[in-house]
Structure 1
Amino acid sequence: MNLLGASIFLLAILLFSTFLNWYVFQAVKTLSQGISIEKYKNAVHIVYWLIFGGISAWYVYTFIKIFITGEFTLSTQTLLNVFLTVVVTQLVCVVFLFTEDLFRNIQAGVIYLSNGAQNFVFPGRKLWVSLLAVIVAMIPFFSFVYGMAFGKHNFKVHKETIYFEDLPEAFDGFTITQISDIHIGSFKNPDHVQKGIDLAIGQESDLFVFTGDLVNHRADEMDPFIGQFSKIKSPYGQFSIIGNHDYGDYISWPNKEAKENNFKEFLSQHEKIGFRLLRNEHVRIEKEGQYLVLLGVENWGVGFGARGDLEKALEGTSTDEFKILLSHDPSHWDEEVKKMKNMVHLTLSGHTHGMQFGIETPIIRWSPVQYRYPNWAGLASFNGRYLYVNRGFGFHAFSGRVGIWPEITVIELRKK
């Protein structure tokens, strides 16, 4: 980001944060009216602005550090955690206050028309509305606290059975375990990682696949965890692809050679953990003399680069073969895969993380990421072609998960 863009971004952050602080302060003022001693009331107001004004200043200072260094550190990670927690909490509070303000203005208009300007008094805020706003705002606040402490390790197994008319008979009932977006640099406790690995191993699937973003930025993030991930085995092998974070594009390197050496080391990490990395190529999985084609492409995503070459990966395959594609970004399926004449039956992706925040219930399914990706989690289909988007094993930027839990996927292939 250039200097002008960074300046505009920082100004926007400061103005947005100040606006939220001011609006929530209206609830604080209303609630503090019950304090009879004026100096205590003022003390509450001063403490509020010291805390939230200080947080806003910290936002700006830390974002400046990010722009200068070009990478995320522990302090910037903490900032993002606090930023999301505070902003979402404040926005919930503001929704109540803003709604009340709409009614107050309507009420004021009615009073003015009825009584005239001479006896006009603008309606004040109601204590119960401010109290309700603060109480309801505590729900996202404690949800984010839970998500940072426990939610990011709350692994869930999602199982899907998909039926295909042209699935080779030998693969009827064939199972695939998928994980995606490990982002191993975000993990600090090996026990938390092991919990997810044990769940993946425990599915005892025929085939294991990993769909990109092994690291956050650097290959050496994986070094402490090689022994753990090398325990993942399946009868028909372990295959992986490259995600957008794996290229090291999002941090500053001292020179081009350093970045290239990091990528070479990243490639070797897949060998060390026993994953066969597919780079715009395919392999045939054989069972009882029949085959399915497993394709893997480098990252291809709208807004995240198009290194992937599906045409190259398909070279040497025929249109009547059953094909499964590993492609990190689900926008690849939307933009290219589902429209191809050489049919790819099933695409396995990740990338979105479900934004690590949202609601998934039998009735409501929502995440802010849906405004960027039409297919952001779970199963989608188009003309007999399927896409499954894994919610991610790890976490990045925001070191937590709220409502969108880390996922181990198990796909069962069945013949119609």
Structure 2
Amino acid sequence: MKWVGGLVGLGVVACTYGYAWERTALQIERVSLSLPRLPNSFADCKLVQFSDVHLGHFFKPEQLQGVLDLIQNEQPDLICFTGDIVDLETQSFSAAIPMLAKLEAPLGKFAVLGNHDYRAGQQHAIRQGWAAAGFAVLDNRHVALGKNGDSLYIAGIDDALVGVPDLPKALAGIPEGASVILLAHEPDFAEEAARYPVDLQLSGHSHGGQVRLPLVGHVLTPKLATKYVKGLYHAGDSQMPVYVNRGLGTTILPVRFLCRPELTVFTLHQ
């Protein structure tokens, strides 16, 4: 039975590592992405995506400040948050609003809500908090970004699990042939988005699996994050790019294993 003790010991070591180190070992992923319909004026646009902070007992506002410093150091043109700023309570978000308000991006700051933002039961307060921080909440709507007479459209949907997502409404009024970036918390929504004229979907929700095993990959992912789990994919007949950010925080268990938290820095080009 020595092997049983060995497995238990290995599990303890892995959990300790996952909690004490990897859970906070942020990794910056740099992605160069081609969007053929991107207007000339937006070539080399730098977009920073962060997601799934899950502010609460295991992710404090002071920890978030370090991430925001890294975001600002990138000198982004555009900042996008793809859902789940809180886990189960909103007090920590209130403390983080002044920090988020200091972020600067000349083309704007945008956010969508995730399922945990609803689970906290204060989605309206979260929307108000994002607005106070200078983020436009894209709940089934879009914003046109202008530069040198060209336009790039940022659209977003309400949470696909517990909200009321309406992609046609979010895209209504966007000119035919325009370049559109969609924020959608749940990555598997890409199966729907790929049927529309969307150039890129940015998502979170999966945490990349949060716990991954060698040769196996992710052990478990939530609903609507089973097909697209982490990194870059191409969805549907249109081969629409969808990028899944691994998130910053954790939920259920405060551990990560072979799945470090992520900040994504995109450089967009034609």
Q: Distance in 2 between matches of 1:294 and 1:137?
A: 48
Cα distance, 1:359 vs structure 2:
4.6
For structure 1, list consecutive stretches of 5 or more residues without a partner in the other structure. 1-26, 28-129, 250-258
Q: 1:354 to 1:185 in 2, by over 3 A?
A: same
**Which residue does the alignment assign to 2:118?**
247
C-alpha contact 2:53 2:59 (8 A) present in aligned 1: no
Q: In structure 2, what residue type is equivalent to 1:244?
A: N
Greater share of helix residues, 1 or 2?
1
**Which residue does the alignment assign to 1:99?**
none
Mark the structure with the bigger radius of gyration. 1
C-alpha contact 1:197 1:232 (8 A) present in aligned 2: yes
Greater share of strand residues, 1 or 2?
2
C-alpha contact 2:118 2:162 (8 A) present in aligned 1: no
Identify which of 177, 183, 187 aligns with 1:326: 183
1:404 aligns with 2:259: yes
1:296 aligns with 2:152: no
Identify which of 381, 401, 414 aligns with 2:234: 381
Identify which of 210, 213, 217 aligns with 1:366: 217
C-alpha contact 2:138 2:157 (8 A) present in aligned 1: yes
Deviations 1:146-202 (A, max 9, x none): 211222211110111111322211111111100011111244544422222222222
For structure 2, list consecutive stretches of 5 or more residues without a partner in the other structure. none
Cα distance, 1:284 vs structure 2:
0.7
C-alpha contact 1:345 1:384 (8 A) present in aligned 2: no
**Which residue does the alignment assign to 1:353?**
207
**Which residue does the alignment assign to 2:167?**
310
Cα distance, 1:239 vs structure 2:
0.5
1:264 aligns with 2:135: no
Question: Per chain length, whose mean CA-contact separation is higher, i.e. which structure has more relative contact order (CA < 8 Å, sep 6+)?
Answer: 2
**Which residue does the alignment assign to 1:159?**
30
What does 1:12-27 correspond to in 2, within 5 Å?
27=1
What does 1:132-281 correspond to in 2, within 5 Å?
133-187=4-58, 189-248=60-119, 259=121, 262-281=122-141
Aligned positions, number: 266
Deviations 1:297-318 (A, max 9, x none): 1011xxx245110000111013
C-alpha contact 2:194 2:239 (8 A) present in aligned 1: no
**Which residue does the alignment assign to 1:390?**
245
Cα distance, 1:218 vs structure 2:
3.0
What does 1:14-163 correspond to in 2, within 5 Å?
27=1, 130-131=2-3, 133-163=4-34
C-alpha contact 1:186 1:395 (8 A) present in aligned 2: no
Runs of 4+ aligned structure 1 residues displaced above 6 Å come to: none
Root-mean-square deviation (CA), in Å? 2.1
TM-score (norm 1): 0.60
TM-score (norm 2): 0.91
